[in-house]
Amino acid sequence: MSIRLDGIHFLVTYRCTYACEHCFLWCGAEAESTMTLAQLEGLMGQAAECGIRNVYFEGGEPTLAYPVVLEAARYAQRAGLAWGLVTNCYWATSVEDAMVWLRPLADLEISDLSLSSYAYFVEDADETKLRNAVVAARKLGLSPAVLEVGAPACIEEPRTSPEDVAAVMHKGRAAEKIAPHRASRPPRELVTCPYEDFADPGRAHVGADGELQICQGISAGNVLANGIAAVLDAYDPTARPIIRELLAGGPVALAEAHGHTPLRALYADECHLCYEVRAALRSQGRHPDVLLPSQCYGG
């Protein structure tokens, strides 16, 4: 069995100016691994050959490697790929400064500009920078989307409707920092994966480690070692460990298949239990080719 993807999200760097409580990649100022231009261009070339038409540059905070991102965007444009960027706007110290940062994106005809609001999870997050970035983007003719997670941002316009506020997925740092305070569901209820379609994922993430993540911390294979086409051709969700159990019955089935007794009476959501099981299996050295990259498990 093989699959096709519509998009690849490049985790350009795991470094970030914040260490948000809800981050499932454990990003922060001390995080390492940044993709090189050669890696990005090589994988984008392969993506285009595989019929993938959309790429995104995110992280971490991708603008910490801004010159490389801009050059990669030029390559994407030449390759006929639509491209987008997700940023936390740390650079938008004024509207004028924000326009300097965003003008190259407008010149390169960015398809999707997403500005993240993290005020709910970072005590010192300055939403003024988000406002500056929104104003600057509009002045440049861009239509930015504001990404909100878990709670509305402190921004008057544009307002996102409640259904547009993304749910927190309690894995990675969120499993430790947030999930224990939100636990309300017994393990027996956690019988599906509500966030990922493992049989037809549509998009996947890849960083400098090369692991093509169908879900953060669950790898379909290493595309830097084997190439995108080979990984997609070899991918069989009904045969790949971890994925096949999640397909069969969600985190509960994953725990039962590996003899893991849930450590808690209540969980915040499916991701909470799934992450607990996967972290335990990693500590036992099990499925080392699937439970990757290590960044998703705290490094």
User: Which residues contact residue 274 at a Cβ distance below 8 angstroms, ignoring those fewer than 6 apart?
Assistant: 171, 190, 193, 246, 250, 251, 254
pLDDT in tens, 212-271: 999 999 999 999 999 999 999 999 999 999 999 999 999 999 999 999 999 999 999 999
Q: What was the pLDDT predicted at 147?
A: 83
Residue 69 lies in a domain: yes
Rounded Cα–Cα distance for residues 187 and 261 (Å):
10
Domain range enclosing 12: 5-87+200-235+288-297
**Domain harbouring 221, CATH code:** 3.20.20.70
Beta bridge partners of 11: 58, 207
Residue 261 lies in a domain: no
Contact 55, 8 (CB under 8 A): yes
Q: What was the pLDDT predicted at 124?
A: 56
Rounded Cα–Cα distance for residues 299 and 296 (Å):
7
pLDDT higher than 70, residue 273? yes
Cα 181 to chain centroid, rounded: 23
Residue 154: pLDDT band (50, 70, 90) is very low
Q: To the nearest whole percent, how much of the chain has pLDDT over 90?
A: 82
Mean predicted confidence (pLDDT) in 101-124:
83
DSSP 296: G
Residue 126: pLDDT band (50, 70, 90) is low
Written as six digits, the tokens of 125 are: 């997050």
Q: Which of 288, 200, 202, 203 is nearest to 237 (CA)?
A: 200
| Residue, of 152 and 279, whose pLDDT is higher | 279
Averaged pLDDT score across all residues of the chain:
91
pLDDT higher than 50, residue 108? yes
pLDDT higher than 80, residue 160? no
Residue 127: pLDDT band (50, 70, 90) is confident
Q: What was the pLDDT predicted at 22?
A: 86
Q: What was the pLDDT predicted at 119?
A: 52
Residue 15 lies in a domain: yes
Burial zone of 33 (CB within 10 Å; 0-12 exposed, 13-18 middle, 19+ buried): middle
In Å, how far are 252, 257, 274 from 261, measured between CA atoms? 10, 10, 12
In Å, how far are 73, 84, 113, 268 from 105, measured between CA atoms? 8, 9, 9, 38
Written as six digits, the tokens of 6 are: 């519509």
Q: Please state the domain count of the chain.
A: 1
Residue 57 lies in a domain: yes
Q: What was the pLDDT predicted at 91?
A: 96
Rounded Cα–Cα distance for residues 61 and 154 (Å):
21
Written as six digits, the tokens of 145 are: 């989307």
Q: Starting at the edge strand that comes first in sequence, how are the strands of the sheet with 82-87 ordered?
A: 145-148, 112-117, 82-87, 54-59, 5-13, 202-207, 211-215, 218-222
Residue 166: pLDDT band (50, 70, 90) is low
pLDDT higher than 50, residue 48? yes
Question: Which position has the token pair 């096709």?
Answer: 4
Q: To the nearest whole percent, how much of the chain has pLDDT over 70?
A: 91
Residue 45 lies in a domain: yes
Q: How many of the other CB atoms lie within 10 Å of CB of 198?
A: 20
Model's pTM, two decimal places?
0.92
Residue 37 lies in a domain: yes
Q: What was the pLDDT predicted at 123?
A: 54
Q: What was the pLDDT predicted at 117?
A: 77
Residue 226 lies in a domain: yes
DSSP 64: G
DSSP 192: S
pLDDT higher than 60, residue 121? no
pLDDT in tens, 170-184: 999 999 998 998 999
Rounded Cα–Cα distance for residues 178 and 155 (Å):
23
Question: Which position has the token pair 């045969």?
Answer: 239
Rounded Cα–Cα distance for residues 61 and 79 (Å):
24
Lowest mean pLDDT among 110-124, 135-149, 154-168, 217-231: 154-168
| Residue, of 257 and 151, whose pLDDT is higher | 257
Show the CA angle centred on residue 172, arms to residues 283 and 298, nearest 5°: 55
Residue 243 lies in a domain: no
Q: What was the pLDDT predicted at 2?
A: 81
